[in-house]
């Protein structure tokens, strides 16, 4: 026979076990299985958010596996997207995913003009037109989804608000893919299956400080360009001093050694998509 105090103890152990089991099951739930999402609290002026600027970028090293399987269904990434157009239903995603990693390894920011698509290569650029009001925006596709039946694209909260359907949840849209021309440097076209290599010498919130370091970097960068890359999000702006692009990792390592020997900056090797700012 279990005494009263023992019953309380057993009941307590059961409750703890139930809570742990619930927590574990919650951690293994797919983010795409969530039925409800929400935008930010308070007012948010989406008109101040700049549209995505279509520039040629190599394919991301993540998120382009083809075929891939979600919920038992197989999907394939498109080989050619030039001139591709599509009509259907768009949804949006916001707070529940804000700050999580996208399929290509970036951080999802609901205040940026981005989107998720099941089969477009990552990244891609798409003009999305709301067929109910003719508003349109340009977004950068960096995620997979939506895996709900009957939907063709999942826009960031900011993009949905610009298109005027953030309160409704879905809208009838038309997608038109934008295909930027690949960047050419020194007569060599960067391959679409890799990222460009740079050496980042420092990052500053102060533009003048970044420009001063860039002048020092110019004396040590040899035949490679040194430049300041501006990166902005919803809360801050950073000015990153970079050298490159360089052709391979060994060349980047030699640049890092040169800066280290002179005690200039804090050089690190980075890989990222080539954009118009790097020309």
Query: Per-residue pLDDT for 33 more than 70?
Result: no
User: pLDDT class for 41, splitting at 50, 70, 90?
Assistant: low
pLDDT value for 40: 67
Second-level CATH architecture of 194-278: 2-Layer Sandwich (3.30)
Residues 6+ apart with CB under 8 A from 48: none
Query: Per-residue pLDDT for 56 more than 50?
Result: yes
Q: What are the tens digits of pLDDT across the range 218-235?
A: 988 888 888 888 765 545
* DSSP per-residue string spanning 174-195: EEEEE-PPPPEETTEEPPTTS-
Helix (H, G, I), strand (E, B) or coil at 26: helix
Task: Identify whether 197 is preceded by a cis peptide bond (ω within 30 of 0).
Answer: no
Q: What are the tens digits of pLDDT across the range 76-99?
A: 999 889 899 999 999 999 888 888
152 vs 28 pLDDT, higher one = 152
CATH superfamily of 48-178: RlpA-like domain (2.40.40.10)
Quick one: average pLDDT of 144-173? 93
CA angle 55, 70, 108 (to 5 degrees): 40
* DSSP per-residue string spanning 33-59: G-------SS---GGGSPPP-----PP
Q: What are the tens digits of pLDDT across the range 235-261?
A: 567 888 988 878 778 888 999 999 999
CA distance 123 to 108: 13
User: pLDDT class for 205, splitting at 50, 70, 90?
Assistant: confident
User: pLDDT class for 277, splitting at 50, 70, 90?
Assistant: very low
Per DSSP, 204 falls in state E
- List the chain domain ranges: 48-178, 194-278
59 vs 118 pLDDT, higher one = 118
Q: What are the tens digits of pLDDT across the range 4-18?
A: 444 443 334 333 333
Per DSSP, 219 falls in state H
CA distances (Å), origin 15, targets 18, 21, 197, 251: 5, 10, 53, 59
277 vs 136 pLDDT, higher one = 136
CB count in 10 Å sphere of residue 263:
6
């Amino acid at each position: 026979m279990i005494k009263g105090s023992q019953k309380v103890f057993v009941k307590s152990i059961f409750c703890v076990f139930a809570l742990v089991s619930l927590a574990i099951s919650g951690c293994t739930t797919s983010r795409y299985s969530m039925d409800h999402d929400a935008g930010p609290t308070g007012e948010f002026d989406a008109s101040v958010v700049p549209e995505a600027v279509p520039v040629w970028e190599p394919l991301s090293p993540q998120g382009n596996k083809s075929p891939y399987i979600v919920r038992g269904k197989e999907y394939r990434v498109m080989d050619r997207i030039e001139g591709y157009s599509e009509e259907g239903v768009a949804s949006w995603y916001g707070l529940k995913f804000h700050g999580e990693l996208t399929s290509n390894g970036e951080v999802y920011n609901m205040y940026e003009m981005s989107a998720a698509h099941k089969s477009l290569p990552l990244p891609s650029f798409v003009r999305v037109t709301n067929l109910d009001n003719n508003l349109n925006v340009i977004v950068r596709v960096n995620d997979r989804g939506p895996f709900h039946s009957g939907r063709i694209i999942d826009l960031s909260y900011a993009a949905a608000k610009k298109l005027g359907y953030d309160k409704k949840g879905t809208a009838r849209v038309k997608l038109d893919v934008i295909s930027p021309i690949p960047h050419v440097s020194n007569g060599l076209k960067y391959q679409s299956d890799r990222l460009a290599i740079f050496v980042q010498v420092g990052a500053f919130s102060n533009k003048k400080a970044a420009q001063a370091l860039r002048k020092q970097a110019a004396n040590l960068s040899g035949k490679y360009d040194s430049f300041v890359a501006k990166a902005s999000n919803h809360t801050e702006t950073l000015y990153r001093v970079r050298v490159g692009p360089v052709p391979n990792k060994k060349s980047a390592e030699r640049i890092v050694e040169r800066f280290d020997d002179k005690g200039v900056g804090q050089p690190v090797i980075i890989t990222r998509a080539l954009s118009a700012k790097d020309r």
